[in-house]
Copies of this chain bind each other. A is one copy, B any other.
Amino acid sequence: MATPVPPYEPPYYAVIFTSVRHDDDHEAYAAAAKRMLALATEQPGFLGVDSARGADGLGITVSYWRDRASIEAWRTHAAHLPIQETGRRRWYDMFSVHIAQVERSYRYPPPAP
């Protein structure tokens, strides 16, 4: 069972990546996604990530980071840049990115006291 990331201690950052994929090249995409996820989790400032893709093809991945500097470092990471280029060229019809500072967060059920 998938589990949402917990709330972290604000302030922290969320990168909301919403995309529509082409219908082809599933294997190469899945392999790259898995590799990038593993690498992202090793980056300084990485907190967590949630991801979902619905039957209509729309996917949302939200990664959480301690600050803007850690997001920028990952965006320009030497192993990440060429994959972003491949994504634009081969995998995504379109995507939107929103970079946001989390001011408040909570969960249900609330944490045990």
Which residues does A use to contact B, with CB under 8 Å? Answer: 1-7, 13-14, 16, 18-20, 50-54, 56-60, 62, 64, 68, 88, 92-109
Chain A contact residues: helix, strand, loop or mixed: strand
Residue numbers in B under 8 Å from A50 (CB-CB): 18, 58, 60
- Copies of this chain, complex-wide, total 2
**Which chain B residue lies CB-closest to A19?**
B4
Known contacts A62-B60, A102-B98, A1 near B14 by CB under 8 Å: no
The residue from B3, B18, B52, B88 contacting A54, defined by CB atoms under 8 A apart: B52
**Which chain B residue lies CB-closest to A18?**
B4
Known contacts A5-B18, A88-B108, A52 near B62 by CB under 8 Å: no
CA distance A52 to B97 in the complex (A): 16
**Which chain B residue lies CB-closest to A106?**
B97
CA distance A13 to B94 in the complex (A): 22
- What are 5 A-B residue pairs whose CB atoms fall within 8 Å in the complex? A1-B20, A5-B18, A7-B96, A18-B62, A68-B103
